[in-house]
Amino acid sequence: MRESTAYRCQECGFVGAKPGTCPDCARAGVYLPLVEERVAARRGGGHRVAPPAPAAVPLGAISVEQGDRLPTGIGELDRVLGGGVVRGSLILIGGDPGIGKSTLLLQASQALAAAAPPVLYLSGEESAAQIKLRADRLGIAPDGVYLVAETDLSMIESQLDALKPRALVVDSIQTVFLPELESAPGSVAQVRECGARLMRLAKARGMATFLVGHVTKEGAIAGPRVLEHLVDTVLYFEGERHHSYRVLRAVKNRFGSTNELGVFQMGERGLAEVSNPSGFFLAERPQHASGSVITASLEGTRPMLLELQALVAPAAFATPRRTVLGADYNRVCLLLAVLEKRAGVPLQSQDVFVNVAGGARVVEPAADLGIVIATASSYMDRAVRGDMVVLGEIGLTGEVRRVAGLAARLKEAAALGFSAALVPAGNLGDDGNGSLEVRGAATVDDALRALLP
Ligand code: TYD
Ligand code: MG
């Protein structure tokens, strides 16, 4: 076999013939060294006989097998996967270190093993003994779950032949390697080749395969983007380190919607499903406190009630502080400017702190009105009635704009015992069932008059 040398960027996967910095990344202002890699040249070389091209088939004539989904036994995970895991699919789960990826997959292995044994758990990060200790703590019975602390992927095939697992977990893709590549585990070349090898194994054996992927400081899965292109499903496991709640989100799914999200709580005995996230986030809500407003946010198709909190206090320094947790900083600054200019609430000599309780995060503009009302409520030191949800997007002229999916949001609020809602005036009429007292607001001023007269 002939060997050749190539120089590869570890960020974007660019390959050059000479050492230096990556020209692609340099264009974006980042200077990264190209890393030397030795590649074994393909045997044979020269002329190869082209295999016959497969014939094209009319789309309508293709038959699809139904019932190829396995429930993982964890409802929130099944929901994100689009109703269970598809046989032979490759699923990448990314997340910060310590967020609970290994815990989630160990719990899923146990549940999958009950439905479709055996399950093989390949760990390159922890020893078998460490995993056993964790399993004991989680109360996982070992039936049907097999462990192997192996990182050489070329050895794995014999294990698969012997065990014939229905599902495989690789924890993590950055620790496994193929010995025929010279670069280190975790490098772009290794991650990509191992990913491709696992893809072929998963498809050929009809074996559902979960890959754990580490994320970089920027929050993307380490290794080349090609890994995300290669796999069928990419999930991100997120959460605040110091809060117990975790969210599993699909960013790509060939077998389902990417709008779904699963909510978990990390506890003494691992991850527990949170089937009622609104109740979870509202559990510690203060009663009759100023600066607290409940909004109904829509995550994909799932409505979730969140508590928005604001604290307004006289500024200690000439430049007032704006501190925002759980929402977009620039958006909050814009909303404070609208509140000041359009509703006459003087904030230029006030520090403003905005927080979404429980470590949750709002991304959609439907929370705008809630943030504005919470801020005004704290400034006036008057509480907003506690049985009301507030929602609406705010424009720069102080108008309250329509939000999507109002009926679903109000249904969730009614289910949690709320009795009234303040919604954009333009949305009046699409509130679905009439169990809530619904009021409309066309401007920020309207909303303030309605809630803080
Ligand atoms: P882990 O699954 O090892 O994270 P990852 O694989 O994403 O790096 O989770 C580690 C964290 O979870 C650790 O900080 C402790 C916590 N944890 C619990 O709080 N309860 C538990 O039952 C378990 C197993 C872990
Ligand atoms: Mg881990």
Query: Cα–Cα distances in Å, from 329 out to 332, 334, 338?
Result: 5, 9, 14
Domain interval for residue 193 = 70-275
245 and 363 together in one domain: no
Q: Is residue 50 part of a domain?
A: no
Per-residue confidence (pLDDT) for residue 356, from 0 to 100: 93
Measured by CA distance, the residue closest to atom 9 of ligand 1 is: 100
Mean pLDDT of the region 296-316: 88
Q: For 271-278, what is the mean pLDDT? A: 86
State residue 187's pLDDT score.
Answer: 83
Answer yes or no: is 347 within a domain.
yes
pLDDT at 224: 55
pLDDT tens digits, one per residue of 165-177? 999 999 989 999 9
Q: What is the mean pLDDT of residues 298-312?
A: 87
Ligand 1: which residue has its CA nearest to atom 12? 100
Give residue-wise pLDDT tens across range 180-194.
988 888 888 889 899
CA of 96 to the centre of ligand 1 (A): 11
Look at residue 48 and tell me if it is in a domain.
no
Mean pLDDT within 251-278: 86
Q: Do both 270 and 284 map to the same domain?
A: no
CA 236, CA 221: separation in Å to the nearest integer? 9
Dist CA 49 CA 419 (whole Å): 73
Using 50, 70 and 90 to split pLDDT, how confident is the model at 58? confident
Tell me: do 373 and 388 sit in the same domain: yes
In this prediction, residue 392 carries a pLDDT of: 96
User: With 70 as the cut, is the pLDDT of residue 41 above it?
Assistant: no
Is residue 370 located within the same domain as residue 446? yes
Ligand 1 center from residue 384 Cα (angstroms): 39
Give the atom of ligand 1 at the shortest distance from the alpha carbon of 99.
7
Q: Report the percent of the chain where pLDDT is more than 90.
A: 46
pLDDT digits (tens, 9 = 90+) for 110-143: 989 988 889 999 999 899 899 999 999 888 877 8
What atom in ligand 1 is closest to the CA of residue 212? Answer: 6
Q: Which of 276, 234, 274, 277 is nearest to 256 (CA)?
A: 234
Q: What pLDDT score does 106 carry? A: 93
Q: Is the CB of 138 under 6 A from ligand 1?
A: yes
Q: Is there a domain that residue 56 lies in?
A: no
Q: Please give the tally of structural domains in the chain.
A: 3
CB 146 within 8 A of CB 112: no
Domain limit, last residue, from 220, 249, 275: 275
Decide whether any atom of ligand 1 lies within 6 Å of the 215 Cβ.
no
Same domain? For 199 and 305 the reply is no
| Ligand 2 centroid – CA 98 distance (Å) | 7
Cα 359 to ligand 1 centre (Å): 18
Q: What is the mean pLDDT of residues 138-156?
A: 87
Instruction: Report which protein residue has its CA nearest ligand 1's atom 21.
Output: 270
Residue at 45 is within a domain: no
CA dist 285 → 1, 152, 434 (Å): 68, 51, 26
**Is the distance from the beta carbon of residue 134 to the nearest atom of ligand 1 less than 6 Å?**
yes
Domain end: 237, 260, 275, which one? 275
Mean pLDDT of the chain: 87
Instruction: Among 214-223, 246-255, 367-376, 392-401, name the one with the lowest average pLDDT.
Output: 214-223
Q: Report whether 270 contacts 109 (CB < 8 A).
A: no
- Specify the pLDDT at position 220: 64
Question: What SS3 state is found at 289?
Answer: coil
Give residue 354's pLDDT: 97
> Of the bound ligands, which one is closest to the alpha carbon of residue 241?
1
Q: Which residues surround ligand 2, an ion (CB under 5 A)?
A: 102
User: Do residues 419 and 295 both lie within one domain?
Assistant: yes
- Cα(349) to ligand 2 centroid in Å equals 47
Q: In sequence order, which ranges of 9-155 are alpha helices (DSSP H)?
A: 23-27, 75-81, 101-115, 128-138
Q: Can you give the pLDDT at residue 243? A: 81
**Ligand 1 near 269 CB (within 6 A):** yes
- Band of pLDDT at residue 93, cut at 50, 70 and 90: very high
Shared-domain flag, residues 187 and 244: yes
Q: Residue 155: inside a domain, yes or no? A: yes
Give mean pLDDT, residues 285-313: 89
Q: What is the pTM for the complete model shown?
A: 0.76
Is residue 248 located within the same domain as residue 330? no
Q: CA-to-CA distance for 106 and 127, rounded, in angstroms?
A: 14
Quote the CA–CA distance of 43 and 128 in Å, as a whole number: 38
Taking Cα atoms as reference points, which of 266, 277, 275 lies closest to residue 244? Answer: 266
Which residue among 275, 301, 323 closes a domain?
A: 275
pLDDT bracket for residue 19 (50, 70, 90)? confident
- Residue 51 domain-assigned (yes or no): no
- Residues 294, 238 share a domain: no
Give the model confidence (pLDDT) of 327-363 as tens digits.
999 999 999 999 999 999 999 999 999 999 888 888 8
Determine the pLDDT at residue 61: 83
| Mean pLDDT of the 6-12 span | 79
244 CA: nearest ligand 1 atom:
19
Q: What is the CATH number of the domain that holds 216?
A: 3.40.50.300
The reported pLDDT for the residue numbered 429 is: 83
